[in-house]
Amino acid sequence: MVYDVIIAGAGPVGLFLACELRLAKVSVLVLEKSEDPHSPLKQLPFGMRGLWGPSIEAFYRRGLLERMAPPPRAEGAPGQPRPGSIGSGAPLRGPAGHFAGIQFDYRNIDSSRWTYRLPGPADTQFGSEMEQLERVLSAHALSLGVEIQRGHGVEGFEHSSDDVTVRAGGQRFHARFLVGCDGARSTVRKQAGFEFVGTEPEFTGYSIQVDIADPSILPLGRHYTPTGMYTQWQPGFIGMADFDGGAFHRTEPMTREHVQAVLRRVSCTDVTLDALHVASTWTDRAHQATTYRKGRVLLAGDSAHIHSPLGGQGLNLGFGDALNLGWKLAATIRGEAPDGLLDSYTTERHPIGARVLDWSRAQVSLMRPSQHSRALEAIVRDLIETRDGATYFAERVWGATLRYDLGEDHPLVGRSCPDFELEDGTRLGTLLRDGTGLLLDFGHEASLQALDGLWGDRVRYVAHDAKDRLGLRALLVRPDGFVAWASDTIPRPEEVTRAASRWFGTRDH
Ligand SMILES: Cc1cc2nc3c(=O)[nH]c(=O)nc-3n(C[C@H](O)[C@H](O)[C@H](O)COP(=O)(O)OP(=O)(O)OC[C@H]3O[C@@H](n4cnc5c(N)ncnc54)[C@H](O)[C@@H]3O)c2cc1C
């Protein structure tokens, strides 16, 4: 059998991409190296992953949001994901996010500046457990007809201008496209020869679960010291950064003695560890593929970009890649894609990735155990307390103002579409569930009605007014929920035709 797409890696990004591709009715095989989807590092508290606005919106629009949200726990319990409204819901107080551990507060955020936001079910933020995310996405992928083969690590592949042959688990699989979602050390990226450039690490980060002989020695919370940084989320669950240039990462066995020595050094205490239960390391190496496509081979998620987990944006970046790539790759396979559609995946996603890498680098600068960094920290603390500062940090951390440069003037073009509620009560999020594009005609314009059906099932024409139309008369929304064209005045059909042809290809009639 020749699959339309083989995805290497059943991590969260590979699974979400598989769902997006199946939604567009192309055949998908996911090959996953590991037999067992479970790991303590995917479970709370280490497996906690903060989700930003665009990811939450994407899950809402695909009907997955409720299953992604964390199970209810006692208020304020350690590791508790904190839901919160970022639109015009009830005012919230307390920590809303952080930059290098410096928190900004809900009460300082001026979300009224985000002109094109509307309150709705996705107007929230929370963290979710990695294992839960993978479980939900895996079940959803299977229900859509994705084939997943575990214990089949991709070992290599050959690709021509027509197809790709993949070697995995002693078998050969054939497909029209291969997407590497196989994480930071991606085999696909290395074998296809993608250039992967960036900055080298300054520290080794540790995530550990330990028994501490005298817990009173090590206070909870995040602490910068003259020799490093550590965070104790709950007793015995610790993250720490040792500024060794990343030297220890993956080079030596992780013993209790070593971890204790590092913890003593970075905490400036004589803490004693009775036992080491879980330990893993990571670094702040920040690299990015210079392109996300080479012919029939593409990259998404950590295989395309790596950076430290500081600020928790890597997974969100990967979900955004999958959302952007899925419909474009499917349209290419179905022969419907206009010229350049698949290459717009790199054009749109690469700058977003580069920005996130820089965001993580900026946090490293502030974390260094130096007097210069403490001075910088003091300034950031002052700024983050202000309304402008908190709003700026919220925009960056939540992805609230994420925008692709689509070369159009209207300020909404390139942004995620607001969650309009139509006069019949339908919300935009529900209209996007099946992954088709939308032509929203709030003003029932006769000129737009004439375009109904011209792009077949690729664009659905919806003529309903919205309860709050934010001054708009009509807009064209891509399957990923981003606005391709918008008009505040009487729309000109030729503009819509031009925009629809750019994203959805030639008309059916
Ligand atoms: C401590 C920590 C905290 C983090 N916190 C956050 C956060 O709060 N928010 C956030 O957005 N991000 C966070 N991240 C980053 C986030 O976890 C990653 O960006 C995300 O897991 C990337 O997903 P992925 O699917 O691209 O890769 P992975 O999750 O690495 O999945 C890759 C999959 O591919 C498989 N694989 C590997 N090689 C092969 C092969 N050759 N063939 C087939 N399969 C293969 C692997 O087994 C794995 O299942 C954090 C990371 C860490 C380490």
- Distance (angstroms) between ligand 1 centre and the Cα of 183 equals 5
* For range 403-432, the mean pLDDT: 96
Instruction: Assess whether the C-beta atom of 183 lies below 6 angstroms from ligand 1.
Output: yes
pLDDT in tens, 352-380: 999 999 999 999 999 999 999 999 999 99
Residue 413 in any domain: the answer is: no
Task: Return the pLDDT at 73.
Answer: 53
User: What's the rounded mean pLDDT across residues 135-150?
Assistant: 98
**Residue 85: pLDDT over 60:** no
Within a domain: residue 412?
A: no
Q: What are the tokens at 34? A: 């590991």
**Closest ligand 1 atom, CA of 31?**
43
Q: 211 and 99 in one domain?
A: no
Residue 208 lies in a domain: yes
- The per-residue pLDDT for 436 is 96
Are residue 53 and residue 185 in the same domain, yes or no?
Answer: yes
Residue to mutate (ligand 1; options 6, 17, 30, 33; most atoms within 8 A of CB): 33
167 and 269 belong to one structural domain: no
Q: Write the CB contacts of 424 (distance below 8 Å, at least 6 apart in sequence).
A: 464
pLDDT in tens, 431-456: 999 999 999 999 999 899 999 999 99
419 alpha carbon – ligand 1 mean position (Å):
29
Give tens-digit pLDDT for 5-46.
999 999 999 999 999 999 999 999 999 999 999 998 899 888
In this model, does residue 75 exceed pLDDT 80? no
Q: pLDDT tens-digit profile of 426-436?
A: 999 999 999 99
Same-domain pairing of 192 and 43: yes
- Total structural domains within the chain: 4
Answer whether 154 contacts ligand 1 (Cβ < 6 A): yes
**Would you state the pLDDT for residue 80?**
37
The predicted structure's pLDDT at residue 71 = 63
Identify whether residues 185 and 223 lie together within a single domain: no
Task: Please state, in angstroms and rounded to a whole number, the distance separating the CA atoms of residues 366 and 101.
Answer: 10
CA of 43 to the centre of ligand 1 (A): 13
Distances (CA, A) of 243 to 221, 251, 262, 364, 499: 19, 15, 10, 10, 50
Per-residue DSSP letter, 338? P
Give, for 316, the enclosing helix (H) or strand (E): helix 314-333
Q: Is 47 in the pocket of ligand 1 (CB under 6 A)?
A: no
Q: How confident is the model at residue 401 (pLDDT cuts 50, 70, 90)?
A: confident
- Is there a domain that residue 509 lies in? no
Looking at the structure, tell me whether residues 104 and 237 fall in a common domain.
Answer: no
**Residue 327 clears pLDDT 90, i.e. is over it:** yes
Closest CA to 139 of 73, 68, 71: 68
Q: According to the model, what pLDDT value does residue 383 have?
A: 98
Domain residues for the domain of 470 are 428-504
Q: Does residue 363 sit in the same domain as residue 378? A: no
pLDDT of 232 reads 95
81 has pLDDT over 70: no
Q: Looking at the structure, do residues 244 and 187 belong to the same domain, yes or no?
A: no
Q: Are residues 214 and 316 in the same domain?
A: no
pLDDT tier, 277 (very low <50, low <70, confident <90, very high otherwise): very high
Confidence band of 84 (pLDDT split at 50, 70, 90):
very low
Q: Does some domain include residue 407?
A: no
- What confidence score (pLDDT) does residue 92 get? 66
Verify that 44 and 161 share a domain, yes or no.
Answer: yes
Which atom of ligand 1 has the smallest separation from the CA of 14?
25
CA end-to-end span of the chain: 33
Cβ–Cβ under 8 Å, residues 110 and 391:
yes
Ligand 1 atom closest to the Cα of residue 184 is 30
Q: What dihedral angle (degrees, nearest 10) is formed by the CA atoms of 419, 425, 431, 434?
A: 130
Q: What is the pLDDT of residue 86?
A: 40
Q: Which of 397, 406, 324, 414 has the alpha carbon at shortest distance from 360?
A: 397
What CATH code is carried by the domain that includes residue 459? 3.40.30.120
Helix (H) or strand (E) holding 96: strand 95-99
In terms of domains, do 178 and 310 share one?
A: yes
Binding site membership of 8 for ligand 1 (Cβ less than 6 Å): yes
Residues 181 and 274 in one domain: no
Nearest CA to ligand 1 atom 37: 182
The helix/strand/coil state of 497 is helix
